[in-house]
Amino acid sequence: MVAPAQSSLSQLVPFRIDPVFTARVWGFRDLRPWYDRVAETEPIGEVWLSGDECKIASGPHAGEKLGRLFADAHDAMIGAKTPAGSPLLIKVIFARGKLSVQVHPDDKMAQKYGEPRGKTECWYALEAEPGAKVAAGLKSGTTLEQVREEIAAGTLEASLNAVPIERGDMVFVDAGTVHAIWPGSILLETQQNSDITYRMFDYGRPRELHIEKSLEATKFGTHAGKVAPRRLPDRTVLIEAEYFRVEEIAMGGSRTSRSRTSLSLRGAGESAGLSYLFAAAGVGRISGSGFEPVDLPARGIVAVPASSPEFVLEDASRSGEKLDLIRITPNWPS
């Protein structure tokens, strides 16, 4: 018999988060088979997995908004001596059309305009059609005046650095990078918890542009581009950058949350902290003392608070499938 779930704000148990399906002009009307969701009106382009408005779907705080729990139980969620609020926004991007060409400010510029933080992000290709590409950065030698002229002429794409992507690729997009997502891939996006977007060019669509701010935010020397995976005995580090770390965890049937075991969800020497577990494929189940088991559905996400008790994650996929687990953790700037 499972003991009653922990309800204290000083210790929180793992919990599932309900996604928020967000309308975008460039999205799809039917997200199946990825999600059992068909748009009733506007197409859906983004599935927010850890937004402040997302609702907790399991455990003693079910029905509450995620942002509220971060505010009420900061230390239990993230750990002491960390910045206030939810640190990461995780999304799945479904692009049927081209997204705008855009750029995000860094922390300094965002705070200049009254925002708490800028936006550095990364894209992990969950699926990609042959020939799929994204844009990350400007071609060498491009000038700010040239960018301004090409925005006016509608020819900005000619100066973008096109990056071919395949399933399993990771692309880093640090703040200040001129970038765009083009059709042909489904992307898991991890970013600072900010929705600041300065649209530079939008293919004539009747949406607001932010040309002057986008030019101010633009950096010609960024670290954007593909990131080579770092393979370890028990996991593959897809990216480790300022603000976030994204790993693919080899399951082998089950994993414990203990850091001292060889089949741990935590990396060697990693202290307890907030993490998110995303099922890119297959399904999982989390169980432990003091809380009801938590199901991790395909393309679903579970938050593991810093104060979580020990648990075991099992691959609960049906025969012929397996849990493809992505683990995402904050990585605080030094």
**CA 171/CA 227 separation, integer angstroms:** 6
Structure tokens at 46: 């983004």
How would you list the strands of the sheet with 88-94, edge to edge? Answer: 20-28, 44-48, 88-94, 185-192, 121-128, 170-173, 225-226
Asked if 199 is an active-site residue, the reply is yes
199, 235, 245, 299: the catalytic one is 199
What is the CB neighbour count within 10 angstroms for residue 148?
15
- Count the neighbouring beta carbons within 10 Å of the beta carbon of residue 112: 11
Three-state DSSP class for residue 6: coil
- Separation in Å, CA 133 to CA 157, 161, 216, 238: 12, 10, 26, 19
Query: Identity (one letter) of the amino acid at 75?
Result: D
Reading the block at residue 130, the tokens are 């042959």
| Cβ atoms < 10 Å from Cβ of 36 | 9
CA–CA dist 302, 235 (Å, integer): 19
Q: Are the beta carbons of 278 and 301 closer than 8 angstroms?
A: yes
The per-residue DSSP string of 45-87 comes to EEEESS-TTPBB-SSTTTTSBHHHHHHHSHHHHH-SSS-SS--
Interior angle at CA 87, CA 83 and CA 92, nearest 5: 175
Of the candidates 198, 285, 293, the one whose C-alpha atom is nearest the C-alpha of residue 2 is 293
Positions annotated as catalytic residues are 199
